[in-house]
Amino acid sequence: MSTLSETYRDHPPIHHHHIVPLDFDSLGSIPDSHDWPPSSHDSPSRGGHHINENASIPLIDLNDPNAITLIGNACETWGVFQLINHEVPMGVIERAEGETRRLFDLPMTRKLKTLRAPGEVSGYGLPRITPFFSKHMWHEGFTIMGSSAHHASQLWPSNHQPFCDVMEEYQRKMKSLAEQITHLIFNFLKISDGAEITNWLHTAGAAACSSALQLNCYPRCPDPTRVTGLAPHTDTFLLTILHQSRTCGLQIFRDGSGWVPVAPVAGALVLNVGDLFHILSNGRFPNVLHRVVVDPTRRRLSMAYFYGPPPDFCVSPLNDPSESPRYRPVVVKDYVRLKAKNLENALSMIRL
């Protein structure tokens, strides 16, 4: 069984700007480009393919008087939890999911008008981690960073405003929830409000944080064991807030438990620790490895909001006199580049 690092060595990044998502609706069978050899979906270096249906990730009520401790403990033990009573109105989430569905329902010719150009982050295309794998994922995505108006007007020349309005509102709600949770976690870590690391929190303006909204669509596949929705990866920033439609598919990897499905809970958002919180917490919080498997009968949609400090902010491990730092300080944008080039090896490159 090969390891992920061997996969990188054997399959150096391809230039994926020529490769576009499949028109899944028109397929009669699984093309070789998307047919994964058995158990290559897993990250063998991190635990094989055991799926643990008995374990479940913490479900936390934000109104619980102990929310800080519950969230902090979940970050330490799992690196992921589901959150209810988060005050993001269900109406906003449902409208955003509705617009996401409207987008992926468009004919391929129209979606391709917004195909991500080389070096661009926004628009329609394959998962960003595609170049690191020899097979393609059963997935189409649309990334929003900044205004979506230009792309939306190409998707819907005469009716793009509803999409833009909903996505803007959704991102505003996500940003304030991300700030609130980051603040709670800082309290848990005993980082005081005036500390330098908190400087950027609650700052107004577009440059105040790094954020992106990733809309994901996993078409149904009659033979899901042969395909991969999204290959195992960790998220780059501090926190990810994910809404998933009612179809199962997300799984997280936990040492000792194996792959644990994250069952959709009505009204709950999934929050997970990314690489930057792992670094900031000096390794105390695991940057949870996760993947998506495909459903045989139902298409799955998700919306992932990635949140971190502004690009020029330097993230360093917490200063705890009782333990030495495990990572060297890294500027957010430098880490993003390191990750884009090295994927799962990026962290080890800044390890002390």
Ligand X SMILES: O=C(O)CCC(=O)C(=O)O
Tell me the per-residue interface mask from 252 to 291 with ligand X, x by CB under 6 A, - otherwise: --------------------------------------x-
Check residue 12 and report its DSSP letter: P
Sign of the alpha-carbon dihedral angle for 197, 237, 233, 19: negative
Rule CB under 6 A: is residue 292 a binding residue for ligand X?
Answer: yes
Q: Does 275 bind Fe ion (CB under 5 A)?
A: no
Using the contact rule CB under 6 A, the part of the chain among 172-180, 185-193, 242-250, 252-260 near ligand X is 242-250
Q: Which does 34 bind (CB under 5 to 8 A by kind): ligand X, Fe ion, none?
A: none
- If the CB atoms of residues 97 and 235 are measured against Fe ion, the closer one turns out to be 235
* Selected binder of ligand X within 164, 304, 330, 336 (CB under 6 A): 304
Q: What are phi and psi of 72, to 5 degrees?
A: -60, -45
DSSP-based three-state secondary structure for 255: coil
CA-to-CA distance for 282 and 22, rounded, in angstroms?
41
Least distance to ligand X from the beta carbon of 63, Å?
Answer: 25
230 binds ligand X, rule: CB under 6 A: yes
| Residue 299 interacts with which of Fe ion, ligand X, none, CB < 5 to 8 Å by class | none
Distances from the Cα of 152 to the Cα of 19, 171, 339, angstroms: 22, 16, 29
Contacting range for Fe ion; rule: CB under 5 A; set: 161-169, 231-239, 243-251, 331-339: 231-239
189-208 in b/e form (b: 16+ CB < 10 A) is bebeeeeebeebbeeeeeee
Q: How far is it, in rounded angstroms, from Cα 305 to Cα 278?
A: 18
Q: Give min distance, CB of 81 to ligand X, in A.
A: 14
Which of the residues 116, 220, 300, 328 is marked catalytic? 300
Footprint of Fe ion on 232-251 (CB under 5 A): 235
* Site size with Fe ion, rule: CB under 5 A: 1
Location of structure tokens 């995505």:
141
Q: Is 300 annotated in the active site?
A: yes
Distances (CA, A) of 248 to 135, 239, 265, 298: 22, 21, 10, 9
Measured CA to CA in angstroms, residue 84 lies from 35, 62, 88, 145, 265 at distances of: 37, 6, 10, 26, 9
Active-site positions read: 300
The residues that touch Fe ion, with contacts defined as CB under 5 A, are 235
Residues that bind ligand X (CB under 6 A): 214, 216, 230, 235, 242, 244, 250, 290, 292, 302, 304
